[in-house]
Amino acid sequence: MTEKLHEYVEKLKAENAEWVSEVKDALGEVTIVVPVESIADACKFLRNNLEFDLLADLCGCDRGPEEDPRFEVNYHLFSTIHHNRLRLKVLLPEDSPAVSTVTHIWRTADWHERETFDLFGVKFEGHPDLRRILLPSDFDGHALRKDYPLRGYEPYSMN
Amino acid sequence: MSTAVKDIPSQFEAMDQSLESQMTLSMGPQHPSTHGVLRLDLRLDGEMVIKAIPDIGYLHTGMEKLFEYKKYQQGIVITDRMDYLNPLGNNLAYVMAAEKLLGLEIPERAQVIRVLMCELQRIASHMVWFGTSCLDMGAMTPFWFTFKEREKILNIIESASGGRMTPSYFRIGGLMMDLPAGFENRVKQFLEGFPDALKTFDTLITGNTIWHSRTQGVGIISKEDAIDWGLTGPSLRGSGVNLDIRRANPYTGYETYDFEVPVEPDGDVWSRFMVRMRELRESHKIVRQALERLKPGPTKADAPKVVLPDRDDMRKHMDSLIHHFLIVAEGFNVPAGEVYLPIEGSKGELGVYMRSNGGPKPDRVHFRGPSFVNLSALPVMSEGEMIADVVAIIGSLDIVLGEIDR
């Protein structure tokens, strides 16, 4: 079922073996863990050479304050031509998590990256307009982090 | 005494410019044609839009955070409130993601009912889109006709689930309960009347020359741009890309149904309008087929530790009673793992990223709402258009702010 997806992984490895640090195959989905510094290059190759022309989704994830590396960013790639899906994953440390942007590869990443920045505090280097999108600009903290309490620290007021 | 303005947010940079020929207009958040609470910062030269900056988040209620504090079965009711025009689609994406993690097999009857209900919901959602997008452009009459049809569908959904806007009808492992007596006749009655309603809509709007001049050639987005901006669903098919998740990555047996995927080449408001109008007929076709396939059978998966037992069983069997107590009190453990499950919602690709660490509550649930992504492409479509056309473009994207802000 996932042979076709592994072919893409092999092609990615053949282009540059350093782009792939781990491959997971579970529940019919293939996840490639990519080193932080090469995510933009790997995405560019997948888009230009392997026809993954649509970034379906980009979302952050907090594994919890006790984990190291603590944060993840997941890229869900999709192709409008061969209809296959791949997940790329980068792992980020707790202190100042940052990864380079992919907005120059898929422009749809713009809002997704802003949302991830807003809710997890992950910085996307090179993003043209990185500011909060769902929460107000003076909001304190990053709400989807595991150590942020469900009800916040104090009643939030627009004043 | 001067008050220095510090840290001007970049969306207001336009205000710093000379106002000789240009002005900044804040449209919304209470504007009736923004379909909820969307605010647009429009920089205008006369009536022409030079720059459009959507400002969202007015409806943000932290739903993705809330999922992490609720058991899997409790999360279903939260999904109803995201895209409130397509709640059954949200239910389906959520429960299917959990079912994929659990590895559950869903019985045939439940699958058919899911398809049937989702397509009815798609029609209902398109009815609201049709009515409101006409209303935005000054055509008030279609609104009453579309809401009449929607009312019939809501009554059907209510008869099955008890809820009109928030059905929560799909549960992990199957359905809340089987269909009530007389359900098939209700659907048949609706199906018989719907083609006439479609004819009415065509007479009122599709063949209307005012409508043509308001929509044709307005808000154009090219095929390449549409893919680059991540548009999906009818908005993408209006740009000439033949992509439907029901065909590309089939789920709940959509590969066995006979329907067409409407595609229009021009990428303007008219194309997106026509795609949805043709989709209504296809959904009508699918509901008809699903109705023919309804055969008696179980509607819940055979997984006693996940699916609530029947009331009757609980009176007779001790183990059913124990399972019921455990599911309600403690929930059920879901094997660790992560899935991304896309379905074709009424507005585009509705994807759920779900991640479990083995407990009864999800570690992370993320909704890829089609409205969120489609709205991000609004500036591309509206820059260079007239301000009245921005309203037409928003209508053609069919956005729901509940899903965008979550």
Q: Which residues of chain B have pLDDT under 70?
A: 1-20, 32-33
Q: Which of B227, B91, B113, B213 minimizes the C-alpha distance to B159?
A: B113
| Residue B384 DSSP SS3 | coil
Domain covering B63-405: architecture: Orthogonal Bundle (1.10)
Which residues, 6 or more positions from B116, have their beta carbon under 8 angstroms from its beta carbon?
A: B187, B287, B290, B291, B294
* Helix-, strand-, coil-residue percentages of chain A, each rounded to 5: 25, 25, 50
Contact A59 B366 (CB under 8 A): yes
**Which residue of A31, A80, A131 is in closest CB contact with B227?**
A80
User: Could you tell me the CATH number of the domain that includes residue A84?
Assistant: 3.30.460.80
pLDDT, position B122:
93
Bond into B298 cis (ω within 30): no
Mean pLDDT over the full length of chain A: 88
Return the ∠ at Cα B339 (arms to B338 and B340), rounded to 5°. Answer: 135
Q: Each residue of A13-70: pLDDT tens digit?
A: 888 888 888 888 888 899 999 999 889 999 999 999 888 999 999 999 998 888 888 9
Say if A66 falls within a structural domain.
yes
Query: How distant, in Å, are the alpha carbons of A102, B251, B377, B393 from that of B380?
Result: 18, 32, 6, 11
pLDDT of residue B3: 41
Q: B349 at the A interface (CB within 8 A)? A: yes
Q: Residue A157's pLDDT band (boundaries 50, 70, 90)?
A: low
Beta-strand relationship, B48-55 and B39-45: antiparallel
Instruction: Give contacts of A144 with chain B, Cβ < 8 Å.
Output: 64-65
Q: Where in chain B is the domain with CATH 1.10.645.10?
A: 63-405
Q: Does A57 touch chain B (CB under 8 A)?
A: yes
Q: Is residue A148 part of a domain?
A: no
User: Is residue A119, in this structure, part of any structural domain at all?
Assistant: yes
Q: What is the pLDDT of residue B15?
A: 53
Domain extent at residue A28: 3-125
- The pLDDT of residue A153 is 77
| pLDDT band at A158; cut points 50, 70, 90 | low
Measure the CA–CA gap between B283 and B122, rounded to whole angstroms: 7
B406–A134 C-beta distance less than 8 A: yes
Count of C-beta atoms within a 10 Å radius of residue B227: 24
Size of chain A in residues? 159
pLDDT tens-digit profile of B244-266?
999 889 999 899 999 999 999 88
Enter the pTM of the model.
0.90
Q: Which residues of B touch A57 (CB under 8 A)?
A: 340, 351, 353, 366, 368
Residue A38 lies in a domain: yes
> Which residues of B are less than 8 Å from A108 in CB distance?
228-230, 373, 376-377
> Which of B8, B373, B401 is best to mutate for the A interface (most A CBs within 10 A)?
B373
Per-residue confidence (pLDDT) for residue B7, from 0 to 100: 53
pLDDT for B5 equals 46
Whether residue A147 is contained in a domain is answered as no
8 Å CB contact of A108 and B376: yes
Contact B374, B219 (CB under 8 A): no
The total domain count for chain A is 1
> What is the ipTM, given to two decimal places?
0.91
Report the distance separating Cα A70 and Cα A74, nearest Å.
Answer: 13
Check pLDDT > 60 for residue A159. Answer: no
